[in-house]
A and B are shown apart, each in its own frame.
Chain A
Amino acid sequence: MVKPGTDDVWRWLDAVPDPEIPVISIVDLGIVRDVAWAGDSLEVTLTPTYSGCPATAVIELSVETALRERGLDHVTLKRQIAPPWTTDWLSDKGRARLEEYGIAPPNPAGGPDRCPRCQSADLERISQFGSTPCKAQWRCRDCLEPFDYFKCI
């Protein structure tokens, strides 16, 4: 087969959803660090989000499956932990999609700016942990709805 360009591979990977937050892709999440050809083998470098994230293995499998479906038989996955993953790597597209989905995007100030449902800024934290290690639970004091906040690390 003709070796696809790395731009195409990036585009394909941008269609691979995060297993826990399917509205954003693994590229939006910033965990795909590099895509490069090494001879006939395609090397994809991934940086895990949290050390204990159970989704890491699922993500690796989804990447491999997605690339095999495109006809790439020789794929090598590399796990790179330095520099450590940070929420700064989340794309603007990813941040907007998180908010539309009801998850407040990470904010360097250490908490959400506004309620993802009603936009109110009158908020309180319920717990530093939500349904996954990457999220915290907050509540809006105006619409009274609880919501997830994607923690900033």
Chain B
Amino acid sequence: MQAEFPEFLLRMGDNTLVLGHRLSEWCGKGPVLEEDIALANTALDLIGQTQMWLGLAGEVEGKGRSADDLAMLRDAWDFRCCLLVQQPNGDFGQTILRQYLFDQWHLLMLGALADSRDDRIAAIAAKAEKEVTYHTERSAELVVGLGDGTEESRGRMQAALDLLYPFVGELFVGDAVDAALAAEGVAPDPAQLRAPYDTALTATMSAATLTVPDSRFAHRGGRDGSRHSEHLGHLLAQMQWLQRAYPGATW
């Protein structure tokens, strides 16, 4: 459990950090003011959750690294975020579909973690779950509105689903880290979340008149850091450059 514990926390925190950064890329560019604000506020929640996950990761790791150190001073190969959150924003539809695919998993994961045998994990999860509940309501509602919308919006949403669905499977493939934590009752076996995820996904996509691809092919390599997408390095370059160029800079 010694090594697996911080590893798991990095996976949770890196997901929210990278997705939070992606959403903040929309700030000032949203299609309408309300959506711009909503994306920025969602990003803010995710970054706040990152502080809790990475803060705890640094604490249990015991090397004196803070949440900021972990966010700003690690290189791509030390990140443990799934490939889905690394994907570029694309158009608004692609951003919203990525958000829904992640939110739905995130909600189930946090629900399970709220019952974790580790009190610290349970506390963070219970807090984050409240926020992710309305993230999921919002992204599902928008997916339905845009999917079951005009010919143009439906076409874009279907293209986004075809593009992003192959990144969903990674969320449910467990490894030795997951097995160790599941054995201790700290975190669920990710495979257990697949059935409830599929049920929710099918309902939302059916309401959105979108077709979920048949293939369960899954790209992998993000959550264990073995093969990240080409996009992660570019994202980190933008996110980290100031702290790297001027170490210790604060305002």
Contact = CB atoms under 8 A, between A and B. Distances in A.
A129 B127 contact: no
B207 interface: no
A54 B46 CA distance: 13
Interface stretch (A23-31, A69-77, A79-87, A112-120): A79-87
B124 A81 contact: yes
Contact of B123 (A50, A53, A82): A82
B48 to A, nearest CB: 3
A6 interface: no
Contact of B41 (A82, A126, A129): A129
A131 B37 contact: yes
A50 B38 contact: no
B38 A84 contact: no
Interface residues of A, number: 22
B34 interface: yes
A19 interface: no
Interface in A74-130: 81-86, 126-130
Contacts of B47: 52
Interface in A33-74: 50-54
Contacts of B44: 50, 52-54, 133
Contacts of B49: 51-52
B38 A129 contact: yes
B115 interface: no
B130 interface: yes
A140 B122 CA distance: 39
Nearest to A127: B34
Contacts of A85: 127
B194 interface: no
B229 interface: no
Given A153-B130, A153-B131, A126 B34 contact: yes
B127 A82 contact: yes
Interface string B199-222: 000000000000000000000000
Interface in B8-63: 34-35, 37-38, 41-49, 51-52
24 contacts: A50-B45, A50-B48, A50-B131, A51-B48, A51-B51, A52-B44, A52-B46, A52-B47, A52-B49, A53-B48, A81-B127, A82-B123, A85-B127, A86-B130, A127-B35, A127-B37, A127-B38, A128-B138, A129-B38, A129-B41, A129-B42, A133-B131, A151-B134, A153-B130
The 3 closest A-B pairs by CB, nearest first: A52-B48, A51-B48, A82-B123
Given A52-B47, A128-B38, 6 more contacts: A52-B45, A81-B127, A84-B127, A84-B130, A128-B138, A153-B134
